[in-house]
Amino acid sequence: MDKVSRIIRHNRAFVRRKDYRTFVTDRFPDKRIVILTCMDTRLTELLPKALNLRNGDAKIIKNAGAIVSHPFGSVMRSILVAVYNLKADTIIVVGHHNCGMTGLKACTILKQAPRRGVRMNDIEAISRLGVNLEEWLKGFRNVRTAVKQSVEIVKTHPLLPSKVKVHGFIMHPKTGKLEKV
């Protein structure tokens, strides 16, 4: 049985047993918090536990490196939706030590892409369309600087109400310890 089939089988049993009942909440974050964090699997359960968050307490946005790479990209749009439509009044950016985005170079991905079935013609076409893949796929040198940059983009966004608080932290992925940035 493949991975997806196992997921579907588990899901059917989960629904049949009504295990979902312990997770019932509404769409509004009870603590009025939005958290942007990394998609690192070490943080999946650790971050909510370390921040004393239960299901329904916060809107959690995840991406590679907890990066707001563009003030008018999907991450910032999600933050603004949470502020305006879901009554969030606090935004927290949580990066972490030993992040896979630290030192990542675009060539690392671009060298692997053809080996994984992506045609070189497609990579070249993306570049001809004006997408700078070297810039778009790169990581960061320092997690502290990356968190500060993301916080600054959010904090100074022209559509973010001035009363919304924005904070930055770095988490230790083993202990959950937070450092304020």
For residue 58, the tally of other CB atoms under 10 A from its CB is 22
Q: What per-residue confidence (pLDDT) applies to 22?
A: 92
Global pTM? Answer: 0.91
Cβ–Cβ < 8 Å for 56, 20? no
In one-letter notation, the amino acid at residue 85 is N
Please give the mean pLDDT across all residues of the chain: 97
pLDDT tens sequence across 149-166: 999 999 999 999 999 999
pLDDT tens sequence across 87-141: 999 999 999 999 999 999 999 999 999 999 999 999 999 999 999 999 999 999 9
Q: What would the mean pLDDT of 2-27 be, rounded to a whole number?
A: 96
Cβ–Cβ < 8 Å for 160, 80? yes
Is a pLDDT exceeding 90 seen at residue 28?
yes
| Domains delineated in the chain | 26-104+139-180 (3.40.1050.10)
CA neighbor of 36 nearest in space, from 146, 156, 174, 111 = 146
For residue 1, the tally of other CB atoms under 10 A from its CB is 7
